[in-house]
Amino acid sequence: MTFSRSVKCFLLVAFMSSCAASSLLAQTASLRGFVTDAGDGQPLGGATVALRSAENADSLLYGSVSNEDGVYLIRSIEPGTYLLAISFIGYETVRDTLDLSGSTTRSADLVRSEEALGEVLVQSEREHGMARVTAGHQRIRPEEIELVPSPDISADLANYLTTLPGIVTTGDRGGQFYVRGGEPSQNLTLLDGMVVYQPFHVLGFYSAFPADILSHVDLYAGGYPPRYSGRLSSVVDVSARTGNNRRFGGMASASPFSSAVRVEGPIVPGHASFLISARESMLEQGAERIIGQDLPFRFGDLFAKVYGPASRNSRLSITALRTHDSGSIGDAPDADGPDEVRWGNTAIGARWTLVPRAIPAIMTVHFSRSRHVTEMGSEEEPLRRSEIHHTRIAVDGLFEGDGINWEGGFDALLGKVSNDLGGAFQLPNSSGNSLVEWGLYAEPIYELGPEVHIRPSVRLQWYNIKIDPFVEPRVRATWERGIHHVSGAVGLYNQAVIGLNDRRDVANVFTIWSVIPRPRDSGTDPRAGRLGKSVHTTLGYRSTPASWLDISVEGFYKRMSNLFVAEWTSFPELTTRLARARGRTAGFEARLEVRRDPFYAFVNYGYSNTLYHTKYEAVRYWFGTESLAFRPPHDRRHQVTALGSTSWRGLEFSIRWTFGSGLPYTQPLAFDSFAHLDHAGSVFDMARSRRVIFDRPFNKVLPTYHRLDVSLERTFALRAADLTIHGSLINAYDRPNLFYVDTFTTQRADQLPIVPSLGLRVSF
What percentage of the chain has pLDDT greater than the value 90? 53
pLDDT of residue 399: 86
Distance CA 629, CA 523 (A): 27
Once rounded to an integer, what is the mean pLDDT over residues 391-400? Answer: 92
pLDDT of residue 684: 62
pLDDT of residue 359: 79
pLDDT bin (cut points 50, 70, 90) of residue 338 is low
Residues 35 and 88: beta-carbon distance below 8 Å: yes
pLDDT of residue 122: 34
- What is the average pLDDT value for the chain, to the nearest integer? 85
Write out the H or E segment, with its range, that includes residue 127.
helix 117-127
pLDDT bin (cut points 50, 70, 90) of residue 748 is confident
Helix, strand, coil abundance in the chain, percent, nearest 5: 10, 55, 35
Note the pTM of the prediction, 2 decimals.
0.89
Once rounded to an integer, what is the mean pLDDT over residues 223-228? Answer: 95
Give the tens place of pLDDT for each residue, 497-519: 888 776 665 556 788 888 887 76
SS (H, E, C) 295-356: CCEEEEEEEEEEEEEEECCEEEEEEEEEEEEEEECCCCCCCCCCCEEEEEEEEEEEEEEECC
pLDDT of residue 173: 76
Q: Which residue has the higher pLDDT, 296 or 320?
A: 320
CA 548 to chain centre: 28
Once rounded to an integer, what is the mean pLDDT over residues 747-753? Answer: 81
pLDDT of residue 168: 92
Residue in 492, 535, 536, 497 with CA at minimum distance from that of residue 517: 497
Residues 543 and 551: beta-carbon distance below 8 Å: yes
Query: What is the bridge-based pairing of β-strands 103-105 and 29-37?
Result: parallel
User: Of 42-56, 226-240, 344-358, which gets the smallest average pLDDT?
Assistant: 42-56
Write out the H or E segment, with its range, that includes residue 118.
helix 117-127
User: Of 208-222, 250-264, 460-474, 620-634, which gets the smallest average pLDDT?
Assistant: 620-634
Residues 497 and 513: beta-carbon distance below 8 Å: yes
Residues 307 and 317: beta-carbon distance below 8 Å: yes
From residue 267, how far is each of 250, 273, 320 by CA, in Å?
15, 5, 17
pLDDT bin (cut points 50, 70, 90) of residue 430 is very low
Residue 339, C-beta contacts closer than 8 angstroms, at least 6 positions apart: 328, 332, 376, 377, 383
User: Of 274-283, 368-377, 696-705, which gets the smallest average pLDDT?
Assistant: 696-705
Once rounded to an integer, what is the mean pLDDT over residues 261-283? Answer: 95
The residue type found at 69 is: D
User: Of 89-93, 99-103, 253-257, which gets the smallest average pLDDT?
Assistant: 99-103
Q: What is the three-class DSSP state of 635?
A: coil
Once rounded to an integer, what is the mean pLDDT over residues 18-25? Answer: 44
Give the tens place of pLDDT for each residue, 122-153: 333 345 789 999 999 999 999 999 999 998 89
Give start and end residues of each alpha helix (H) in 709-762.
none
CB count, 10 Å around CB of 153? 24
Distance CA 166, CA 538 (A): 13
User: Of 275-284, 346-355, 631-640, 743-752, which gets the smallest average pLDDT?
Assistant: 743-752
Residue 651, C-beta contacts closer than 8 angstroms, at least 6 positions apart: 712, 713, 714
Distance CA 17, CA 78 (A): 20
Q: Which residue has the higher pLDDT, 451 or 123?
A: 451
pLDDT bin (cut points 50, 70, 90) of residue 15 is very low
Write out the H or E segment, with its range, that includes residue 653.
strand 651-660
Indicate whether 424 pLDDT > 60.
no
Residue 401: burial class (beta carbons within 10 Å; 0-12, 13-18, 19+): middle
Residues 106 and 124: beta-carbon distance below 8 Å: no
pLDDT of residue 19: 44
pLDDT bin (cut points 50, 70, 90) of residue 573 is low
pLDDT bin (cut points 50, 70, 90) of residue 115 is low
Residue 14, phi-psi category: left (phi > 0), alpha (psi -120 to 50), beta (remainder): alpha
pLDDT of residue 156: 94
Distance CA 229, CA 234 (A): 10
What percentage of the chain has pLDDT greater than the value 70? 84
Once rounded to an integer, what is the mean pLDDT over residues 693-705? Answer: 83
Indicate whether 737 pLDDT > 50.
yes
Once rounded to an integer, what is the mean pLDDT over residues 14-30? Answer: 52
